[in-house]
Amino acid sequence: MSQTITLYVDGACKGNPGLGGWGAYIITEQGEHKLYGGEPATTNNRMELQAAIEGVSFCPTDAQLIIWTDSNYVKQGITEWIHGWKKKNWKDVKNPDLWQKLDAVCANRDIEWNWIKGHAGHAGNEMADQLANLGAEQTAQQMKSSTQANADIKKPEADWLLNDPFGLDLDIEEEELIEDNDELSIEEPNIDAVATVPQATEDISTSTQHPHIVITEAKLNLQGPRQLILDTETTGFYFQDGDRIIEVGAIEMINRKLTGSSIHIYINPEKPVGDSENVHGISDEFLQDKPKYAEIADTLFSFLQGAEIIAHNATFDMNFLNMEFNRVGLPSLSEVCEVTDTLALAKNKHPGQKNSLDALVRRYEIPARDRTFHGALLDAEILADVYLAMTGGQVSFDMDALSQTEQNPNKITRQTIQVDLPIIYPSELELNEHETWIKQFEQKYGKECLFAK
């Protein structure tokens, strides 16, 4: 009789994309097996998939496998989505190489896929997570050793910086990895600088060569997922008709606090700004000596990638950014970032009301700023306050107030804001599903369901 094997698989990534590792904790009738490995430039999803591939490949083909993963991406992909992907010949599927490998190793096997909540104290999942991090650490050490060995053989030439598009110091640390990889898929663009979050902004600031790229370093050293509140100004409304971006501004937020890190760039659109000058106040003369998009694209992409982009009417900004990045041969920004549209959030919370940025500022009593003309960085700062007020009431951490607190450490101030918590109503589909569940409950137990009263 074939044996039953239990597998716990997990992936980890320091930055997304960035240094990654995978781990598989396998429990057989004979004992335990711990597999791990990593890659220098990858994504969390790819490492989750690689862990599953390696774990299944290790087991005998006639064994019954019970697999636990904390990635719904893996579980639903292999049990549900993959059938549709095959029908359309893997068109528009991210990570098709790994999905096809996983499909191949799972063929003709008896496998039960299960989801488990990550970082919830389950021994098997915690062990897989430790193995994934061990794989990432081992890869980082291998890269460090390889770089040091190469440095001993050949020292950089005197004019080496002239050949480096960013002007980076290539001393590789465990959490600051730089790796060229020609085989990266569109989800993992071939970017010279791959760094962990939130240190990414510091790395990019040192790489800036063009004087019109303004990147500020973080004043607060916070750990957590990066959110970038972003705004753009353009020559018009229609990227399909050749309108271009002329200004980009984004400020960094971690754990609902502004870190002080930001990026701000004026861009020569290579065409007249036209009537849009009446909106943003930026003239052709002002933009004449500014860099073209191709000159700043790599730096801007490196700053933005892997973060959650928060924008008001985000579809507008993302369409323009995707178009501009594609023009210079880079992937679409929406493929390497999550996107949150505050206009959609506002419409859901305040249906039938005006939900422009100015209207939301008045509704939430955000401190007034001079907005005679729209400016990307100014609008991003305002949107940060609006977003925090709209999603829970906590105001953003004012960086000017931080400077004053540093100068007057004994003075303590507290700022509060009174807002209504959002009410999220169920959709018609959710109501129908709830009604069906109540009927099934009554049929099964022969009594009225509490939720039906």
208 contact partners, CB below 8 Å, separation of at least 6: 166, 215, 299
Tell me how far apart the alpha carbons of residues 21 and 338 are, in angstroms, rounded to a whole number: 22
Question: Is 33 assigned to a binding site?
Answer: no
Question: Is 97 assigned to a binding site?
Answer: no
Question: Is 280 assigned to a binding site?
Answer: yes
Q: Which of 212, 350, 374, 434 is catalytic?
A: 374
64 contact partners, CB below 8 Å, separation of at least 6: 2, 3, 4, 5, 110, 111, 112
344 contact partners, CB below 8 Å, separation of at least 6: 314
Which residues does residue 18 pair with via DSSP β-bridges, in sequence order? 42
Helix (H) or strand (E) holding 340: strand 338-341
Whose structure tokens read 């979050």? 197
Catalytic annotation present for 374? yes
- Residues 217, 260 contacting (CB under 8 angstroms): yes
Question: Is 358 assigned to a binding site?
Answer: no
Whether omega before 225 lies within 30 degrees of 0, making that bond cis, reads no
Tell me how far apart the alpha carbons of residues 356 and 263 are, in angstroms, rounded to a whole number: 24
- Residues 109, 65 contacting (CB under 8 angstroms): yes
Question: Is 70 assigned to a binding site?
Answer: yes
Q: For 202-211, which contacts have Cβ atoms below 8 Å and span 24 or more sequence positions?
A: 203/168, 203/176, 203/302, 204/166, 204/263, 204/299, 204/302, 204/303, 206/167, 206/168, 206/169, 207/166, 207/167, 207/168, 207/299, 207/302, 208/166, 208/299, 209/166, 209/167, 210/291, 210/295, 210/296, 210/299
Helix (H) or strand (E) holding 284: helix 284-287
With H, G, I as helix, E, B as strand and everything else as coil, classify residue 291: coil
- Residues 305, 337 contacting (CB under 8 angstroms): yes
Question: Is 379 assigned to a binding site?
Answer: yes
Neighbours of 423 (CB within 10 A): 7
Question: Is 103 assigned to a binding site?
Answer: no
Tell me how far apart the alpha carbons of residues 154 and 10 are, in angstroms, rounded to a whole number: 39
Question: Is 385 assigned to a binding site?
Answer: no
Q: Which residues are catalytic?
A: 374
Residue ranges for the known binding site for substrate are 231, 233, 280, 379
Residue ranges for the known binding site are 10, 48, 70, 129, 231, 233, 280, 379
